Structure 1
Amino acid sequence: MIQSRMVGEVRVTRLLEYAAPTHDPAFLFPDMAPSLLKDNASWLAPHHYVPEMNRLIVTIQLWIVHAGGNVIIVDTGVGNRKPRVAARMHQLNGLVLPWLEAAGAAPDKVTHVVHTHLHSDHVGWNTVPSADGRWVPTFPNARYLMPKLEYDHYVEALAKSPDPIIDAAFDDSVRPIVEAGLADFIPDHGDIAGLLAIEAAPGHSVGHQTYRIRSRGEEALFSGDVMHSPAQIADPTLNTTYCALPDVARHTRAALLAREAERGTLIMPMHFGAPHCGYIRRQGEGYAFEPAVW
């Protein structure tokens, strides 16, 4: 459940909230060619795809950064006891809090919570229920950093047209942070604590951002949901059914693959199966995924 590695002098820890063969490929990737999974089954199975079930494995993970006295969590998963439309995320009752403490990120020690975007599976552990039933900040000493464009978009969109999926997460995991005065709304450039470079990566959502570590000649990128599955490395044109801006998402993904293949960056997504991170390598006119070794 908990694995750590160094990126230069920065310690990065991965905490797995859950992993399961949950998604019908035709649902997650409506435009996927029927042959893609069969042609790539030799490396997608068994960690990213279960042929016997015809299901993609989707994980939910939190990333923790330790450096210079900072304890930074990148995205906060689904959370416990959250009412969600999707059965796989509804009213979970996991052990993320003791796992965070074991990983050196006890709630009162966390200095920053950073969001790639504000979908429900990336904000859930922002809050926990209080004894009187209110949603209160999980990390009371942290600043919660949210992409300003993303936040503003949802505030405006939900005011015009309520969405039961987005509304629930906003009500229990975003608004309580804003009301507690712990939210900072960040632009799509600059850095966080001198450790994470902020980079715009729109498409999956309007204000989606990625965050880059550079230390002693090594680089790693928290890529959020630019890719949900390594299948999108085999076919970068694939969008998920959740992508808000399809053409922009394809452009962002293509640019990321080309850039990070050239740079040799460790890619740390939020939803890849084991080993949950890896490298983009050139392969002919396309790309291949090289799993990282922990």
Structure 2
Amino acid sequence: MTTEISKVYQVGDVTVTRVTEMMLGGIPPEVYFPGSWDRMFLEENRDSLPSGLIDGNSQLIVSIGTWVVKTTNHTILIDTATGNDKNLPLNPDLANLQLPYLKRLKEAGVTPEEVDYVLLTHLHVDHVGWNTKLVDGKWVPTFPNAKYVFPLAEQEYYSSEASHNKANEVNFNVYEESVLPVVEAGLTQTIGPEGGHFLEIFKFIPTPGHSIGQMSISLKSDGEEALFGADVMHHPFQVFNPDWNSMYCEFTDLARISRLRVLEYIADRPVIYFSTHFPESAAGYVTRNGDSYKWDFI
């Protein structure tokens, strides 16, 4: 269950809290879903869609944030948003931010020193930024006592110059500022291509396509289940239209396959879907709607 104010959820014996770094509106859907956007979808379904998906000008609303998972023994972050002070020459909209993320994290009951693990679904700009912070001109780990855990395929790809294809231009310089410093500090652990269990309650599940080695993360506790879906979907419109890729999907065919696999897995089951970029609470359930799917926030 959750409250609209705190956005705290219970999954078995584990609590999950949403910490939102920023909300973004005014995003043209035809730009966000290149080659896929169908204006008639919105016109025909406007009255039945959940509220909060679009602004008053029918432009998309998306969020960027972190999920805080607290168990009896550990404090875990899943993805670390965008970060402050980042030098992103090909992504000026997210460069040199000055946002109160750490204050919001503290309001959620977490100080950087208390974080035991940082689980990263993939290594894109808006998922790894707060891995590091700028101190006296040097990038240092924000969570000094944490182990940073992420897919090995992501590290191998984004540490290479070959990774900077057109779809990935917005992530130029991200690895160098937000990942490499924690690698050099000896704070990382990688997950192989098959995924696998972690800390008993988590499981890394390969869902490539948006990025080369992206993984979603399953959480099971005391008979209850949730799924941190990463960027399998960026917006609830993709629940209703699984064939729509976002402009940031690097491997489009694989992205569609992974999206359908996730929707099939969670549909009509009591599995909370914790998104990274959905607006409103960013959490909800997927149900079947004939041959398609629908989304409801919780």
Deviations 1:196-248 (A, max 9, x none): 11111111001000111111221100001000011001111000111111111
Deviations 1:24-75 (A, max 9, x none): 111110112221222232355651112x423210100100110131111000
SS, match of residue 175 in structure 2: helix
Q: CA deviation at 1:102?
A: 2.3
Mapping of 1:76-225 within 5 angstroms? 76-84=80-88, 85-130=90-135, 132-158=136-162, 165-187=170-192, 188-225=194-231
Deviations 1:177-208 (A, max 9, x none): 11111111112422222221111111100100
Alignment RMSD (CA, Å): 1.9
Q: Does 1:238 align with 2:244?
A: yes
Q: CA deviation at 1:90?
A: 2.1
Q: What's the % identity of the aligned pairs?
A: 36
2:11 pairs with 2, 7, 11, which one?
A: 7
TM-score by length of 2: 0.92
What corresponds to 2:39 in structure 1? 34
SS, match of residue 205 in structure 2: strand
Q: Does 1:59 align with 2:63?
A: yes
What corresponds to 2:263 in structure 1? 257
Closer, same or farther in 2 for the Cα pair 1:88/1:39, shift >3 Å? farther
Structure 1 unmatched ranges of 5 or more: none
Task: Answer whether contact 1:44 1:231 (CA < 8 A) is retained.
Answer: no
What corresponds to 2:234 in structure 1? 228
The whole-number CA distance in structure 1 between the counterparts of 2:21 and 2:80 is 9
Closer, same or farther in 2 for the Cα pair 1:222/1:159, shift >3 Å? closer
TM-score by length of 1: 0.93
The whole-number CA distance in structure 2 between the counterparts of 1:255 and 1:160 is 27
Q: How many residues align?
A: 290
SS, match of residue 103 in structure 2: helix
The whole-number CA distance in structure 1 between the counterparts of 2:22 and 2:142 is 19
Closer, same or farther in 2 for the Cα pair 1:46/1:290, shift >3 Å? closer
What corresponds to 1:70 in structure 2? 74
Q: Which runs of 4+ in 1 moved over 6 A?
A: 159-163
What corresponds to 1:266 in structure 2? 272
Structure 2 unmatched ranges of 5 or more: none
